[in-house]
């Protein structure tokens, strides 16, 4: 698994509304393969079933199933503003799609707008994932990049402080730009992290703003433990 960059195209968003949610991105892990009828597969199926039931009520679920060497660990996280029913749909889509894309890999991770799902054969819970990450950005440039970049960093840093001071490890908010224009932001961590690791994770990806989204109207750094998104239009359900 490694870092990657992809574009956020208006076209992709259009397709998404027509055909239903499609994944933003996924990685299959190189931590090993299993074969058909391997005990790992039944453990994984059980784990994904548990995550499907556990995640929607609170927006987060995690756990492990089985015994070494067939033990599997996983988590699912829905975006902080997503309702239980949409969360359930997203976790279900994510499980199906990642098994389709990574049929014999012991690990995989997949992201949607509404959720993240991850599993692997090693205990990753409670640790910051620095490996799985991708960038998205709007192709459009802002007219005053220096000011805009500052404002973006300011908003996301404020949100990172807020998020890591709440049990939900999630925060969304906005900032006045100029003349009735606003900047909208969201940050979130997986809830297996401590509040201090959540802050550390967010602080790290906010530091990647210049590489990801310098002077862009919108952008995201999306990782396995934390992510942020900012746009010049509202995208969070109040």
Ligand X SMILES: *[C@@H]1O[C@H](CO)[C@@H](O)[C@H](O)[C@H]1NC(C)=O
Strand 108-111: give its sheet, edge to edge.
Answer: 25-28, 108-111, 115-120, 72-78, 60-65
Q: Which is nearer to ligand X, 131 or 195 (CB)?
A: 131
50 lines the binding site for ligand X (CB under 6 A): no
141 lines the binding site for ligand X (CB under 6 A): yes
Interface pick for ligand X out of 4, 57, 69, 140 (rule CB under 6 A)? 140
Interface pick for ligand X out of 3, 16, 33, 149 (rule CB under 6 A)? 33
32 lines the binding site for ligand X (CB under 6 A): yes
Q: Which stretch binds ligand X (CB under 6 A): 39-47, 88-96, 137-145, 190-198?
A: 137-145
Region 193-212 residues binding ligand X, contact defined as CB under 6 A? none
Q: Give Cβ neighbours of residue 233 (< 8 Å, ≥ 6 apart).
A: 184
Cα 97 to Cα 116: distance, rounded to the nearest angstrom: 12
Cα 43 to Cα 52: distance, rounded to the nearest angstrom: 14
Cβ pair 34, 40 in contact under 8 A: yes
Q: Give Cβ neighbours of residue 105 (< 8 Å, ≥ 6 apart).
A: 28, 29, 30, 31, 32, 33
Q: Which is nearer to ligand X, 103 or 234 (CB)?
A: 103
122 lines the binding site for ligand X (CB under 6 A): no
List residues near ligand X by CB under 6 A: 32-33, 104, 139-141
């Amino acid at each position: 698994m490694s870092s990657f960059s992809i574009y956020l195209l208006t076209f992709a968003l259009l397709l998404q509304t027509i055909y239903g949610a499609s994944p933003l991105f996924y990685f299959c892990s190189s931590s090993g393969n299993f074969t058909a009828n391997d005990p790992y597969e039944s453990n994984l199926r059980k784990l994904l079933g548990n995550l499907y039931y556990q995640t929607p009520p609170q927006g987060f679920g995690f756990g492990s199933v089985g015994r070494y060497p067939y033990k599997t660990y996983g988590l699912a996280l829905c975006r902080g503003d997503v309702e239980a029913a949409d969360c359930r749909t997203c976790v279900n889509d994510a499980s199906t799609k990642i098994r389709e894309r990574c049929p014999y890999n012991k690990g995989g991770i997949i992201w949607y707008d509404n959720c993240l799902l991850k599993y692997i054969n090693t205990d990753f819970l409670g640790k910051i994932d620095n490996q799985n990450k991708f960038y998205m950005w709007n192709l459009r440039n802002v007219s005053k990049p220096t000011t805009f970049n500052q404002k973006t960093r300011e908003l996301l840093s404020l949100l990172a402080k807020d998020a890591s001071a709440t049990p939900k490890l999630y925060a969304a908010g906005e900032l006045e730009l100029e003349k009735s224009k606003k900047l909208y932001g969201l940050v979130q961590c997986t809830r297996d992290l401590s509040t201090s690791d959540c802050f550390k994770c967010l602080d790290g990806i906010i530091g990647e703003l210049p590489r990801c989204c310098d002077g862009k109207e919108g952008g995201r750094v999306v990782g396995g433990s934390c992510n942020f998104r900012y746009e010049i239009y509202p995208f969070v359900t109040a």
